[in-house]
Homo-oligomer: A and B are copies of this chain.
Amino acid sequence: MPPATRAHAPAGRPRDPEVDRRIIDAAVQLYGEAGWAGFSLEAVARRAGVGKASIYLRWSGKEQLLADALAARVANVADSDTGTLRGDLITLTRQLLRVYLGDARRAAHRIAVEAPGIPEVARRWTELRESQVLAARAMVRRGIRRGEIPENTSVTLLLDTLCGGAVMHIMTTPDGLVGQLVRDADRYAEELVDFLLHAVREANR
C-alpha cells in the first residue's frame, strides 16, 4: 500500500496508539451499522470520543480511514507457519471465525456488498483480499512440499471449502446460538480442518 495513504504526526508529537485504536474500532462499528452512506469522519470522531482534528492528523479522508480499518480488523488473516499444514489451517480458520464472530462481523459482510460502489476503498480491499488468498495458498503449498498432502491436491477446492465452510457455519447459526458458537469455535476449527484433510487424502488415493 502506498505510504501516502496514511498521514504522519508532526515530528516531536508521537501519536497515541490508544487513540488510533479507538478511531479504528469506531470506524469498523459505524461502517458495519450504517454502511458507506452513513460513514463520516464527524460520526467516527463522535463515536471514538476524539476531536475531528485527531482524525485529520492521521487520515486524509474517509476512504483512507475505512480502508485502514478494514485492513486492521477484517482482512487480518495472516500467514502463520506452525510447522504442519493441520496447524496452519486451524490457525487460519480461527482467525476467520474471530472476524466473523466479533465486532467486525457486519463490516465484513457489508464491504463485500458495497465495495463496487466505493472505488477508492475497493482498490485497497481487493489488494487486501488478494494478499490473504496468497497467504492461505502458501500454507497449502508448504504442506504439499513437506509431503503432508498429495502433490495434485486442488488448492482452490480445499481453501474454498475451508474458508467458505467457516463463514457459512456462522451465517446459518440462529442468533440465539451465537454465544455457544463462540465457545465452540476452537473445536469447530479442528473438526473442519480434519474433515477437509480427509477429503484431500481420499481424493488422491
Interface residues of A (CB under 8 A from B): 35, 37, 106, 109-110, 112-113, 129, 133, 154, 156-157, 159-169, 171-172, 191-192, 194-196, 198-199, 201-203
CB nearest neighbor in B for A201: B202
- Closest chain-B Cβ to A152's Cβ sits at a distance in Å of 12
* Majority SS at the chain A contact face: helix
Out of B129, B167, B171, B195, name the residue touching A199 (CB < 8 Å).
B195
Q: How far is the CB of A156 from chain B (nearest CB, A)?
A: 7
Do the beta carbons of B169 and A167 come within 8 Å of each other?
no
Least CB separation from A204: chain B residue = B198
Residues of B within 8 A of A106 (CB): 113
Q: Which of B109, B164, B199 contacts A166 (CB 8 A)?
A: B164
User: Which among A35, A164, A167, A168 has the greatest number of chain B C-beta atoms within 10 A?
Assistant: A164
Cβ 8 A contact of A198, one of B167, B169, B172, B199: B199
Contacts of A202 in B (CB 8 A): 198-199, 201-202
User: Taking A156-B169, A191-B154, A202-B201 as contacts, is the C-beta distance between A196 and B109 under 8 angstroms?
Assistant: no
Of the candidates B110, B156, B162, B168, the one whose C-beta lies within 8 Å of that of A167 is B168
Q: Which residues of the partner chain B approach A163 to less than 8 Å between Cβ atoms?
A: 164, 168
Query: Contact partner of A195 among B113, B161, B192, CB < 8 A?
Result: B161
Q: How far is the CA of A191 from the CA of B169 in the complex (A)?
A: 21
Give the contacting residue for A109; candidates B112, B156, B157, B192; CB below 8 A: B112
A139 → chain B closest CB, angstroms? 15
A172 touches B110 (CB 8 A): no
